[in-house]
Amino acid sequence: MPILSTTDLNVSRLCLGGNVFGWTADEDQSFAVLDAYAAAGGNFIDTADVYSAWAEGNSGGESETIIGKWLAKRSDRDQIVVATKVGMLAGFNNQKRDTILTSAERSLKRLGVDHIDLYYNHLDDPNTPLEETLAAYDQLVKDGKVRYVAASNFSAERLAQALEIQEREGFAKFVALQPEYNLVSRDKFEGDVQDVVARNGLATVPYFGLARGFLTGKYRPGVEVRSPRAGAASKHLDEHGLQVLEVLDDLAETHQTTVAAVALAWLAQQPTVVAPIASARTLEQLSDLTPLLDFELTQAEVDRLSAI
């Protein structure tokens, strides 16, 4: 298993996204997916306090609660790396000191754990001084409630600024960045952001690794997909997206694996990337993802996809 940046966290090559837990996957479905993921060798789970506040009848924290109940049934809590986030839940959608400290306590309670392995600043907050924000994360680390801190959705400039402050003040430093990044959405990360990550030795843990499902291969011209994400995924059905699917199909056939596994393997083999995030609400969906745990493309195949 790869080590996450400068930490002692050994994480699996596939990070299981928890955004569907408590939304399109109920507790029983979520437990089945989590059990199967762990049985396949996965140990890295990603969630957030805001998951899944957008669903009718939800208020946030549903995913953390389900994961917490699942962890309580297991004897190997220390083998599971749990990442969660703060900063996008209504009423807690900022990066003020009180918000961070209070939200961490709420997440710890829902997860039923005494520490969070990786705690993300979910969204940069330009209205709060970075010094205040970063001091709060440092306090959580000093108090033993969080092992490592990380950032998500940061620009190159703000990430560099945050890292500089952490170095200057002796604060716990970000060890990872979680950006949107996949085969058909590359411009938000490649370039300046990736350069800051690489220069500072951070790990990249990309979200939307399958472009909201488009890179599973189920979205094709003339095919209707019934999914809450169908609208967003279908926007990639353009000339570029179809060229990507054509090569993914060819490589999946060559390796006798799934289109999703090939797309995720390309992502996992990009500079600084440690573990792409992908979610599954059913065992069938999970089976498309788990080949990534021990599958790699050749460099020529990586280059072929990159060149599209």
pLDDT per position as a tens digit, 181-191:
999 999 999 99
User: According to the model, what pLDDT value does residue 245 have?
Assistant: 96
Identify whether the C-beta of residue 125 lies closer than 8 Å to the C-beta of residue 86: no
Tell me the pLDDT band of 2, cut-offs 50, 70 and 90. Answer: confident
Least confident of 1-15, 192-206, 210-224, 238-252: 210-224
- Name the percent of the chain lying above pLDDT 70: 99
Name the residue ranges covered by the structural domains of the chain: 15-306
C-alpha dihedral (79, 201, 118, 280), degrees to nearest 10:
-70
pLDDT per position as a tens digit, 51-97:
999 999 999 999 999 999 999 999 888 999 999 999 999 999 999 99
User: According to the model, what pLDDT value does residue 112 have?
Assistant: 97
The pTM is what? 0.96
Averaged over 108-120, what is the pLDDT? 98
CA 283 – CA 188 distance, rounded (Å) = 31
Q: How far is CA 14 from CA 122, 240, 254, in A?
A: 20, 26, 21
- Name the percent of the chain lying above pLDDT 90: 90
Catalytic residue among 51, 120, 137, 181: 51
CA 241 – CA 263 distance, rounded (Å) = 12
Question: Both tokens of residue 241?
Answer: 């997206």
Q: 289: Cβ–Cβ under 8 A, 6 or more apart, which residues?
A: 14, 258, 260, 261, 264, 278, 280
pLDDT per position as a tens digit, 24-63:
999 999 999 999 999 999 999 999 999 999 999 999 999 9
Averaged over 95-104, what is the pLDDT? 98
Active site residue 120: no
Asked if the model's pLDDT at residue 253 lies above 80, the reply is: yes
pLDDT per position as a tens digit, 218-244:
888 877 777 777 677 778 888 999 999
Tell me the pLDDT band of 12, cut-offs 50, 70 and 90. Answer: very high
Averaged over 238-261, what is the pLDDT? 96
Residue 81, SS3 per DSSP: strand
CA angle 120, 82, 56 (to 5 degrees): 75
User: According to the model, what pLDDT value does residue 21 have?
Assistant: 98
Q: Which position has the token pair 């990309």?
A: 206
User: According to the model, what pLDDT value does residue 228 have?
Assistant: 74
Query: In the predicted model, what is the mean pLDDT of the chain?
Result: 96
Identify whether the C-beta of residue 262 lies closer than 8 Å to the C-beta of residue 245: no
- Tell me which fold the domain 15-306 belongs to: TIM Barrel (3.20.20)
User: According to the model, what pLDDT value does residue 136 have?
Assistant: 98
Least confident of 143-147, 209-213, 220-224: 220-224
Phi, psi of 132 (to 5 degrees): -65, -45
Identify whether the C-beta of residue 65 lies closer than 8 Å to the C-beta of residue 31: no
Q: Which helix (H) or strand (E) holds 17?
A: strand 15-17
Asked if the model's pLDDT at residue 105 lies above 80, the reply is: yes
